[in-house]
Structure 1
Amino acid sequence: MISIGDKAPEFNLTIDGGAQFALSDAAGKNLVLYFYPKDDTPGCTKEAIGFSEQLENFNANNAVILGVSRDTVKKHDKFICKYGLHIHLISDEDGSLCEAFGTWVEKQMYGKTYMGIERATFLINSQGEIAHIWRKVKVPGHVEDVLATVTALNS
């Protein structure tokens, strides 16, 4: 399990629009890596819109925002277009990034057990270390909490 103070796992995956994004692309910046279950579902949409609306404030605090799900790049592109999102989304189709961050977990709904993405957020500092972890995230108030933590990190 990944912990605060650990070096963030290296990755190089495709984001919306078909470009590649590697951990090294965020060198010298804070990286907010948030994992969410699925594009275009109520909680995930609300979270993505929240991060998009606060993007200027995150930018002012030297932070990059990246959402991660196992949706395809094509689904990400449609999701971004439909809601006018201003953040980038990583397509982790094979689940390698979810595995590296420990967010591919056993879940339960209506008495059924299945594997899925735990809603979690990781703040990676400008040195590439895990500075803060939010697990089992509840969407209301989360973006504001992450922004306050990023702001405090820059103080």
Structure 2
Amino acid sequence: MQTGDSAPDFTAPTHDGSLLTLSALRGAPVVVYFYPKDDTPGCTTEAQDFTALGAAFAEAGARVIGVSKDTVAKHGKFAQKHGLGVTLVSDADSDICERYGVWGEKSNYGRTYMGITRTTVLIDAEGKVARIWPKVRVAGHAQAVLEAVRAL
């Protein structure tokens, strides 16, 4: 997947039990951020940072969606525990992650395993990939994404 490509469409369950279809959000920018696991330090900070900027994203007309392999129930607990204002999508079978190229081999302390590479994709109002942030560092990231949304 590259800038200018059509964003792969998906329909998946969210933390509140509803279904979200990406293509139904056309007409406005969408931020899809992929993260490894609910309730871990980096993932919690990232979700809180996007939540803290929620009003600014809404003012810019953008929707923010977080995607991980966690279950709908775990997403619900995560969102409630931290008062999150982003939509969390469950990709339990890794289908969305694979189509976006964020599922793959990772290594940590010499151990290799399959996992999600923290990545953010900005999708424009026409459903095209406007920008990709691979291997995200959490500090300051949500603000950088907001600035990119405003520049669309």
Ranges in structure 2 where 5+ consecutive residues have no aligned partner = none
Number of the residue aligned with 2:30: 31
Number of the residue aligned with 1:137: 136
Number of the residue aligned with 1:85: 84
Secondary structure of the structure 1 residue equivalent to 2:16: helix
How many equivalent residue pairs?
152
Number of the residue aligned with 1:97: 96
Q: For 1:10-61, what per-residue CA distance to the aligned partner results, in whole angstroms no more than 9, with x for missing partners?
A: 1000011110000122110100000000000000000000000101100111
Secondary structure of the structure 1 residue equivalent to 2:135: coil
Secondary structure of the structure 1 residue equivalent to 2:78: helix
**Percent of counterpart pairs with the same letter?**
49
Number of the residue aligned with 1:112: 111
One-letter amino acid matched to 1:99: E
For residue 143 of structure 1, report the CA deviation from its aligned partner: 0.4
Secondary structure of the structure 1 residue equivalent to 2:115: strand
CA distance in 2, matches of 1:88, 1:25: 14
CA distance in 2, matches of 1:57, 1:73: 26
Q: For 1:92-125, what per-residue CA distance to the aligned partner results, in whole angstroms no more than 9, with x for missing partners?
A: 0000000000000110001011110000000000
Number of the residue aligned with 1:56: 55
CA distance in 2, matches of 1:25, 1:17: 17
TM-score with structure 2 length normalisation?
A: 0.99
Q: Over the residues paired in the alignment, what is the CA RMSD in angstroms?
A: 0.5
Q: For 1:120-152, what per-residue CA distance to the aligned partner results, in whole angstroms no more than 9, with x for missing partners?
A: 000000000000000000000100100010011
CA distance in 1, matches of 2:19, 2:100: 19
One-letter amino acid matched to 1:122: V
One-letter amino acid matched to 1:53: A
Question: Where do 4+ consecutive residues of structure 1 move more than 6 Å?
Answer: none
Number of the residue aligned with 1:11: 10
CA distance in 2, matches of 1:25, 1:63: 13
